A and B are shown apart, each in its own frame.
Chain A
């Protein structure tokens, strides 16, 4: 399981078309006056599209590997995850604007135990 800038950009170029197809072609039956499970599910799928695209944006912006969050461009000569804590030691909080999501960096500060590369050797 891994990700690369190329794959993420491909996903980001293809998901909007699927999302557009969903928004124009989805068939939601029933009405507003009673419980409507179709509407409930369609709303969730709509959320998943937006969340899915945001996850791609976030993964693309994070140019490092971190354990199972493995970016193919960032690996050691032995193929292990290459951390870049100097540049990416922050939580990415994405602001919903309705248009492009806006990144807010919340720095992670470690006082006593600092992140290191795990080695089983």
Chain B
């Protein structure tokens, strides 16, 4: 399923006449100061940005805050967008950077442990894994990967994001991305195994 199809399935949004204007045109209008054009960009990409943010933050309220922050940052940085890559790719980069900055800030302040659902840390909950949704625990473990691995895993499993697009977001060659992906999976498996052992 393509990303657009996934969004339409989730939101029930059908393509309308405004979809005829492509993102680049909207970006150009936004760069010349049109807030309406930027609103249209928000409308088109809000679900994607929210989902990326949610997968990093694993909390609905934080995800909304981060999605807002990402759009605001995108608005401020829009003048510097030259159209070398698609707007979606650029927005992924802005969102991922915003979320990772916040996560690192929280790690420095040791606030990561304070998320209500996580108890001890993002993966260990104090309950046996079987009692909790194991899949949700696995998803939470992605946030414990290093920044770039967390980013590529998050983007890869977001519906429809291709390796090419992720390579553009990360600004690395395709081969490097594949190596990173392999290492990220290995690291994730290690983290999950460790967590399962701790909780088992």
- A-B interaction: no
Please give the residue numbers on chain B whose beta carbons come within 8 Å of chain A beta carbons, in ascending order.
none
Please give the residue numbers on chain A whose beta carbons come within 8 Å of chain B beta carbons, in ascending order.
none
